[in-house]
Amino acid sequence: MKFIYTDEYDLHLGNHVFPSIKYRLTKEKLLRDGIAKPEEIVAPNAASEDDIALVHDRDYIHRLQAGRLSHLEILRMEIPYSPELVRAVWLSAGGSILAGRTALTEGTCANIGGGFHHAYPDHGEGFCVLHDVAIAIRTLQKEKIIERAMTVDVDVHHGNGTAAIFAGDPSVFTLSIHQANNYPYPKPPSSLDIHLADGTGDDEYLRELEKGLDAALSEFQPELILYVAGADPYREDQLGGLKLTLAGLEKRDQLVFEKARSRKIPVAVTLAGGYARKVEDTVAIHTTTIRIAKEFAS
């Protein structure tokens, strides 16, 4: 299995609630635990402007590159603007394209980053600047590698950018399972939204996720699943209000891969959110997701 990663994913944000150091720490834990070998870690190329423009407005792209975002636009992103940020999100989009392309030939691939599901064509928000998952889908469709894709978004926050970008598009099915009473507001409709009450725990979550996956996959037959595998449904997450345990999150990942493998659907993983009080917990959750991906690839 291939693991897509570069040290440039880390924005070195210090004590910011978004722990971008988690990417490097996850990569190191994957190596330390023997899940990944050094030669299996592949650095992405930055996405091209033309690929990014399949999703994002060129005016927004050019203002991002030139550092001409307004103060309000930067506030909406909720992370500081820098040339390093631009480089990181271009690489993350390239990483998700590569993960999708690799999954189609090898069955599974993980981008140790990405999943920036709040980005819209004309703006970023909620720590998300470019929508790497949408860029990957549109690039693979443009190259005629796939026609149909599905996003399975298990981040604690609704995938509003994903829903908006693919609204009315019969070639992409968007599934989002999330805490109802949490960011973002409003929540544009996905193909299938599973709105969970505050404090939902393992059993109800897994029951609702399985029901949703079965309904989605009986209605739509994707050639590729983009798995937006947020760590933030965890009960110790600072920005979440669900109550999943580490064991419940592991079962969540197993369920997604079991459903995909039973239908022979390749899966590309992106990590998405994770804001546990102890960054080690977020890293452990992401590492488990990727370990399970590897188990189902073999």
How far apart (Å, rounded) are the C-alpha atoms in residues 134 and 266? 17
Tell me if 140 sits within 8 A of 146, measured CB to CB: yes
The count of C-alpha atoms lying within 13 angstroms of the C-alpha of 243, restricted to the half-sphere facing its C-beta, is: 8
The count of C-alpha atoms lying within 13 angstroms of the C-alpha of 256, restricted to the half-sphere facing its C-beta, is: 30
Beta strands in the chain (DSSP E): 2-4, 41-42, 108-111, 149-153, 172-179, 192-196, 224-228, 267-270
CA-CA distances (angstroms) from residue 188 to 167, 168, 192, 193, 228?
A: 9, 12, 11, 10, 17
Residues 6+ apart with CB under 8 A from 48: none
Residues 6+ apart with CB under 8 A from 151: 117, 133, 137, 159, 162, 166, 172, 173, 174, 175, 176, 225, 226, 228
Catalytic residue among 56, 117, 118, 178: 118
Provide the edge-to-edge strand list for the sheet that holds 172-179: 41-42, 2-4, 108-111, 267-270, 224-228, 149-153, 172-179, 192-196
Closest by alpha carbon to 125, among 175, 173, 190, 186? 186
In the residue annotation, 118 being an active-site residue is answered as yes
Cite the active site residues. Answer: 118
